[in-house]
């Protein structure tokens, strides 16, 4: 401690112990530095420090695999595909009595490149959100950001428009990570502050502005995720208990399954 403070000192053996020596003019500064160090060591951890979720990267890999699995089930929007006919986020139908399409559209993808890009994006973006909020709460935030983004996008189109893909939710994740940097007292290593902007730029370059990209949905997903992330960051300084996380995660899965049940009925 004294070396770090630049205070000259020496340690000499004194019988069965040791004596710390310092120049007379430096003794007050040495005592103050050591007292401050002792006080800092005795200080209890702040109650606002969030718990750490072990191996959050596994959640990202799992989410990416789920996206690819869903693509293997629904396939591409070939002529007459029931999945895309009933589940795509058709702007008129989303606002005209079929709001569940805002959720089901998140699970549909145009081709393998589309699905693979979103799987990779979620694999990178979801783990830090899971580490901050827990797995179940993170799934709800991601689902809400994607669904709200699709609904808001549907409201912006004056004519017919249809959209699919999990990229709205992925941009919502970017918004959450960026918003958490604005939460007062939000902990986190400075070396990870580049994650959100770099991932956002990569996602924007690969999926956000292509010929078939739904730019309004991406932008509004980003805004929805930012608002949800800021509110959740202000409201929850600690992870919810594991029982709540499990209930939230299972609930998110049930909501997606329920939306597809409504979409495919009849």
> Which tokens go with 36?
């401050």
How large a percentage of the chain has pLDDT more than 90? 39
Between 46 and 123, where is the model more confident?
123
**Bridge partners, residue 89, by sequence:** 163
The pLDDT tens digits for 251-260 are: 999 999 999 9
Q: What is the pLDDT of residue 205?
A: 61
172 has a pLDDT exceeding 80: yes
Question: Of 1.10.10.10, 1.20.1540.10, 3.40.50.11540, 1.10.645.10, which CATH number belongs to 57-264?
Answer: 1.20.1540.10
**For residue 173, what pLDDT band results from cuts at 50, 70 and 90?**
very high
Q: What is the pLDDT of residue 145?
A: 95
Q: What is the pLDDT of residue 102?
A: 95
**For residue 191, what pLDDT band results from cuts at 50, 70 and 90?**
very low
Q: What is the dihedral of CA 51, 56, 59, 61, to 10 degrees?
A: 170
Please state, in angstroms and rounded to a whole number, the distance separating the CA atoms of residues 122 and 139. Answer: 11
Q: What is the pLDDT of residue 50?
A: 47
DSSP codes of every residue in the chain: -HHHHT---EEEEETTEEEEE--GGGHHHHHHHHHHHHHHHHPPPPTTSPP--S-THHHHHHHHHHHHHHHHHH----TT-HHHHHHSEEHHHHHTT-TTHHHHGGG--SSHHHHHHHHHHHHHHHHHHHHHH-HHHHHHHHHHHHHHHHHHHHHH-SS--EE--THHHHHHHHHHHHHHTTSTT----GGGTTHHHHHHHHHIIIIISSTT--HHHHHHHHHHHHHHHHHHHHH-SSPPPHHHHHHHHHHHHHHHHHHHHHHH--
Domain ranges of the chain: 2-42, 57-264
Q: What is the pLDDT of residue 48?
A: 46
Mean pLDDT of 50-64: 74
49 has a pLDDT exceeding 60: no
- Count CA atoms closer than 13 A to 32's CA, side-chain side: 7
107 has a pLDDT exceeding 90: yes
46 has a pLDDT exceeding 50: no
Mean pLDDT of 59-81: 90
Q: What is the pLDDT of residue 266?
A: 56
DSSP codes of every residue in 137-162: HHHHHHHHHHHHHHHHHHHH-SS--E
Q: What is the pLDDT of residue 249?
A: 92
CA distances from 174 to 97, 169, 179, 205, 242 (A): 30, 9, 9, 14, 25
Mean pLDDT of 95-109: 94
**Bridge partners, residue 10, by sequence:** 21
> Which tokens go with 63?
């989410």
Please state, in angstroms and rounded to a whole number, the distance separating the CA atoms of residues 9 and 18. Answer: 13
CB atoms within 10 A of CB 174: 29
98 has a pLDDT exceeding 70: yes
Radius of gyration of the chain (CA): 25
Window from 2-6, 29-33, 83-87, 162-166 with minimum mean pLDDT: 2-6
Summary mean pLDDT of the chain: 83
Q: What is the pLDDT of residue 219?
A: 85
Mean pLDDT of 139-160: 90
């Amino acid at each position: 401690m004294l070396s770090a403070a630049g205070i000259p000192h020496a340690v000499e053996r004194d019988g069965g112990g040791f004596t710390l020596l310092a120049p007379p003019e430096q003794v007050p500064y040495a005592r103050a530095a050591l007292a401050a160090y002792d006080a800092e060591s005795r200080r209890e951890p702040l109650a606002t420090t969030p718990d750490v979720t072990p191996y959050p990267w596994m959640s990202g890999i799992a989410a990416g695999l789920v996206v690819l699995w869903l693509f293997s089930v629904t396939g591409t929007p070939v002529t007459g595909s029931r999945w895309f006919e009933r589940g795509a986020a058709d702007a008129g139908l989303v606002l005209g009595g079929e709001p569940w399409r805002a959720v089901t559209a998140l699970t549909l993808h145009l081709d393998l490149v589309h699905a693979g890009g979103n799987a990779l994006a979620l694999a990178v973006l979801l783990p830090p959100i899971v580490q901050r909020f827990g797995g179940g709460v993170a799934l709800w935030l991601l689902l809400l950001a994607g669904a709200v983004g699709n609904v808001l996008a549907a409201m912006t189109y004056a004519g017919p428009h249809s959209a699919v893909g999990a990229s709205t939710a992925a941009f919502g994740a970017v918004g959450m990570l960026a918003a958490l940097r604005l939460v007062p007292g939000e902990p986190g290593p400075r070396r990870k502050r580049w994650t959100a902007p770099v991932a956002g730029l990569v996602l924007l370059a690969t999926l956000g502005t292509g010929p078939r990209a739904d730019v309004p949905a991406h932008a509004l997903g980003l805004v929805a995720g930012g608002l949800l992330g800021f509110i959740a960051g202000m409201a929850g300084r600690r992870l919810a208990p594991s029982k709540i996380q499990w209930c939230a995660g299972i609930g998110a899965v049930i909501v997606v399954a329920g939306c597809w049940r409504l979409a495919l009925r009849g």
